[in-house]
Amino acid sequence: MTISANWYLLLAAVLFCFGLVGVVSRRNILVVFMCVELMLNAANLTFLTFARQQGTMNGHAIAFFVIAVAAAEAAVGLAIVIAVFRTRGTLWMDEVSTLKN
Partner 1 sequence: MNRTFSKLALWAFLALLVALFLGYFITRVLPDYLPAGRAVPPRLGDLVFYACAAATVAGAAGVAFSRNIVWSCIGLLIALLGTAALYVFLSADFLAVAQLLVYIGGVLVLILFAVMLTNRIGEVNVSNQSLGLGGGLAVFAAVAPLLMLVAVLVPWPVRPPGPMAPTTARIGDEFLSTWLLPFEVASVVLLATLVGAVVMARKELKAD
Is 41 among the residues that bind partner 1 (CB under 8 A)? Answer: yes
CB 5 within 8 A of CB 50: yes
- Min CB(31)–partner 1 separation in Å: 5
**E strand or H helix at 57, and its extent?**
none
As a whole number of Å, the end-to-end CA separation of the chain is 55
Is 96 among the residues that bind partner 1 (CB under 8 A)? Answer: no
Residues in binding contact with partner 1, number by CB under 8 A:
69
Residues of this chain that bind partner 1 (CB under 8 A): 1-22, 24-28, 30-31, 33-35, 37-38, 41, 44-45, 48-49, 51-53, 55, 57-58, 60-61, 63-65, 67-72, 74-76, 78-83, 85, 91-92, 94
